[in-house]
Amino acid sequence: MSVPPPPEPITGARLLFSLDPAVSHLNHGSFGAVPIVVQRAQQRLRDEMEADPLRFFTRGLVDRITHTRRHLAGFLGADPDGAALTTNATTGVAVVLQSLGLRPGDEVLTTDHGYGAVEFSVRRECRRTGATHRVLRLPLAATDEEVVQIVRAGLRPGRTRLLVIDQITSATAWLLPAAAIAGVAREQGVSVLVDAAHAPGMLPATVQSIGADFWVGNLHKWGYAPRGTALLVVARPWRERIEPLVVSWEQEAGFPGRVEWQATADYTAWLSAPVGLYTLRSLGLDRVREHNAALAAYGQRVVGDALGVSPADLPDPGGPTVAMRIIPLPAGLATSIDAARALRERIAERLATQVAVTAWDGRGWLRLCGQVYNSPDEYERLAARLPALLAQR
Ligand SMILES: Cc1ncc(COP(=O)(O)O)c(C=O)c1O
C-alpha cells in the first residue's frame, strides 16, 4: 500500500535534546522531553537558589513568578490576571474540583475519553461531597456536530454542576470541539473544565476564545518546559472562589497568588519555562506543529500498514493539527490497563522504542507521537519489527 511521504525533517533539531540515541522516543505525549538549553536554564536558576536560598526565596521570587505567568498566559491567549501557574494538569483539575463546593444531588459529567487520573480525582471528590459522577459516551467516529449534540442531550441543567472535557484526549488523540461544547454548556448553565494537558505548544493559542470556566494546560509536554509547569486559567466569576490545595503565605493575596505559592518548593521549572517557548519559536512554531502532526500521521500509516490495518480503519479524530495518532491493535491485545502497560514495556525492552499503549473501549491501541527529534526511519523500524513481537503472545 502506498504511504504519503513524511514531512521534511527539521535538520539538527534532535541535537537540541539529550535523549538516548539508542532508543526511538515516539511518545512525547506522556512526559515530554526538555531541550538541553531549558535544562541548563533551570540548572542556572537552581545554582542561584543554592548560592543564597534566603535571598532567592525572599527577594523578588513572587514577582518573577508573576512575570513568568504573564509570559505563558500571553503565549496561550489567556487572560494573564485569570491564570495561575501550577505543577501539572492533574493538580489544576484537583484545585478546581475542590473549589466547586459540590453537594449531594450535584453531578459531575466526564466522557469515556477522559484521562484516568482525572477520572479518579472526580470520583474521589464526588465520594467526599456526596455528588454523583456520570460518564458520557462519545463514539470515536462522531463528528464535531454529533459530539455537541451528545453533550447537549447529556447535560442535566440544574443538576450537572461541572462538565469535564479534554481539548485533546489522551488515549484516543481526539481534538474535541472545546469551544462549541463550552458554548452549549454555558447555554444550559453548566460550568466547564477543559483538560488541555496536550494543547500548549501543539495548538495555536486559543484559551480565551474557548470560553470555558476553567482550562488547564501543561507546558511540560509540547511546550518544552521543565516538568512541573502548567497553567490553570479561571473565568472571572470563579477567581475568588478558587482555593489552593495547600494553604500558604500568599493565601490572603487571593487568586492567583494563593494557588501559586505552595510554601517551600522548587519554582525553577516555572521560571525556566519561557526558554522552552523561546526554543519553540526559534524553530518556528508553525513549522514545528506541521512537522510533528505530519510525522505522526506518517507513523500511523506505516505502522498501521504493517499491522494490516487499512487506511480507512485508522482513526483520525485529531485531524491535521494533532501530533499524536492511534492505531488499533489486533483483537485481544492490551484490553486492560495492566495488559497495555505490559505490552508497552515489552515494546520498550525488545524494540528499544517508547510508545504509548492504551486500553480503550474494550480494545488495545498504540499511540504514536511526532516531535522534532523524530525521523521517519524510527516509525519504519517499528513497523518492520512490531508484527513479529505482537505475534508472540
Ligand atoms: C488529557 C490528559 N489530562 C491530564 C494529564 C495529566 O498530566 P499531568 O501528569 O502533567 O498532570 C494527561 C497526561 O498525559 C493527559 O493526557
Identify whether 2 is part of a domain: no
Residue 5 lies in a domain: no
Ligand 1 atom nearest to CA at 168: 1
- Domain-ending residue, one of 218, 249, 277: 277
- Determine contact, residues 91/105, Cβ cutoff 8 Å: no
Last residue within a domain, chosen from 216, 251, 277:
277
The reply to whether 222 and 151 lie within a common domain is: yes
Task: For residue 90, report the distance from its CA to the centre of ligand 1, in Å.
Answer: 6
Query: What are the strands of the beta sheet with 107-111, ordered from one edge?
Result: 83-86, 230-234, 214-218, 191-196, 160-166, 107-111, 132-136
88 in ligand 1 pocket by Cβ < 6 Å?
A: yes
Among 241, 258, 277, give the residue marking a domain's end.
277
93 CB near ligand 1 (under 6 Å): no
Count of domains for the chain? 2
- The protein residue with its alpha carbon nearest to ligand 1, atom 7, reads 89
Which residues of the chain fall short of a pLDDT of 70?
1
Spell out the residues 6+ positions from residue 315 whose beta carbon is closer than 8 angstroms to its own.
140, 141, 172, 326, 328
Q: Are residues 198 and 325 in the same domain?
A: no
Between CA 168 and CA 176 the distance in angstroms is 6
Q: What's the domain range around 317? A: 13-26+284-391
For residues 89 and 155, state if they share a domain. yes
CA 237–ligand 1 middle distance (angstroms) = 26
The domain that holds 83 is classified in CATH as 3.40.640.10
Position 120 in a domain = yes
Question: Same domain, yes or no, for 131 and 19?
Answer: no
Answer whether residue 344 is part of any domain: yes
Which of 115, 324, 354 gets mutated to test ligand 1 (max ligand atoms within 8 A of its CB)? 115
Is 147 in the same domain as 261? yes
d(CA 235, ligand 1 centre) in Å: 21
In the reported structure, the alpha carbon of residue 170 is separated from the centroid of ligand 1 by a whole-number distance in angstroms of 7
Q: Are residues 185 and 312 in the same domain?
A: no
How many A from CA of 127 to the centre of ligand 1? 22
Q: Is 4 part of a structural domain of the chain?
A: no
Q: Could you tell me if residue 32 is inside a domain?
A: no
CA distances 388 to 302, 306, 344, 347, 383, Å, are: 15, 10, 15, 11, 10
Query: Is the distance from the beta carbon of residue 115 to the nearest atom of ligand 1 less than 6 Å?
Result: yes
Say what the pTM is: 0.97
User: For a pocket test of ligand 1, which of 90, 111, 138 has the largest count of ligand atoms closer than 8 A to its C-beta?
Assistant: 90
Asked if residue 181 belongs to a domain, the reply is yes
Q: 319: which 3 cell numbers? A: 485531524
Q: How far is the CA of 92 from the centre of ligand 1 (A)?
A: 10
Helix (H, G, I), strand (E, B) or coil at 17: coil
Query: Are 270 and 296 members of one domain?
Result: no
Looking at the fold, whether 154 and 113 belong to one and the same domain comes out as yes
Looking at the structure, tell me whether residues 122 and 168 fall in a common domain. yes
User: What pLDDT score was predicted for residue 4?
Assistant: 83
CATH number assigned to the domain comprising residue 370:
3.90.1150.170
> How far, in Å, is the centroid of ligand 1 from the Cα of 5?
31
* DSSP-derived 3-state class of residue 171: coil
Asked if 296 and 216 sit in the same domain, the reply is no
* Whole-number pLDDT of residue 1: 57
Determine if ligand 1 sits within 6 Å of the CB of residue 166. yes
Sequence-distant (≥ 6) Cβ neighbours of residue 27 within 8 angstroms: 354, 355, 356, 367, 368, 369
Do residues 192 and 166 lie in contact, with contact meaning Cβ atoms separated by under 8 Å? no
Same domain, 260 and 304: no
Which ligand 1 atom is nearest residue 218's CA? 10
Indicate if 20 and 54 belong to the same structural domain.
Answer: no
Q: Which atom of ligand 1 has the smallest separation from the CA of 198?
A: 16
**83, part of any domain:** yes
Query: 225 CB less than 6 Å from ligand 1?
Result: no
